[in-house]
Amino acid sequence: MARKTPGLNTSSMSDISFLLLAFFLMVSNINSDMGLARKLPPPLPENVEPPEVRERNIFVVMVNKDDRLLFNTEYGRIEDLKDRAKEFLGNPNNDIHMPEKQATEIPLLGTYEVSKGVISLRNDRGTSYDMYLQVQNELTAAINEMRNELATTRFGKRYTDLNEEQSKAIDQAIPMAISEAEPTKIGGK
């Protein structure tokens, strides 16, 4: 007669494995938030015409299929985009070829000269995703730097450290004015 080999009781092992799996699923962080954080404006009512934007209030940024940048009809480098966008939106010298400003009453800030400037971004269908993201990052950085400068001047804190009411006032003074057109064919080189 054959001898019985003793076995191990593994039923508790499966319970422990399941508990470990459940624990790691609950405490681990799966980073799935990718993309660009943009809040779209509300749609205009059907009977309202969109406001006309004067040419001097538009800073055109185009990216062609070769990932070359064009700022208002002149070629530029990605490293210069943030400074050019800040200069355009801020219009520090009230240049008549740069955007107009409108005196606006803003809670916590008083009367503030809000730029009517809009950055118009156009991409070619052949633009690389990397270049598209670099351009978006530079434009966002320009607006964020302007907001930080104003927040530091007015409230003595960085924009990210402001309370909700203060950040709303800064957002109203320096809006995220980036308009993006549908990708089209833009001339190369």
Residue 33 located in a structural domain:
no
Domain that holds residue 110: 57-180
Contact partners, residue 90, CB within 8 Å, separation at least 6: 115, 146
Tens-place pLDDT, residues 59-116: 999 998 899 999 888 898 999 999 999 999 998 888 888 899 999 999 999 999 999 9
Per-residue model confidence (pLDDT) at position 82: 93
Residue 131 located in a structural domain:
yes
Q: Which two tokens stand for residue 44?
A: 């205009």
Residue 74 located in a structural domain:
yes
Q: How many helices (H) and strands (E) does the chain have?
A: 4, 7
- Give dist(CA 21, CA 186) in Å, integer: 52
Residue 8 located in a structural domain:
no
Residue 68 located in a structural domain:
yes
Residue 28 located in a structural domain:
no
Residue 117 burial (C-beta neighbours within 10 Å; 0-12, 13-18, 19+): buried
Pick from 39, 141, 169, 36: nearest CA to 85? 141
Residue 26 located in a structural domain:
no
Residue 42 located in a structural domain:
no
Q: Are 142 and 86 in contact (CB under 8 A)?
A: yes
Per-residue model confidence (pLDDT) at position 168: 93
Per-residue model confidence (pLDDT) at position 29: 77
CA angle at residue 141 from 189 to 104, to 5 degrees?
115
Pick from 55, 62, 25: nearest CA to 118? 55
pTM for the model stands at 0.71
Contact partners, residue 133, CB within 8 Å, separation at least 6: 36
Q: Are 82 and 145 in contact (CB under 8 A)?
A: yes
Overall domain count for the chain: 1
**Confidence class of residue 134 from pLDDT cuts 50, 70 and 90?**
very high
Q: Compute the average pLDDT of residues 42-65.
A: 82
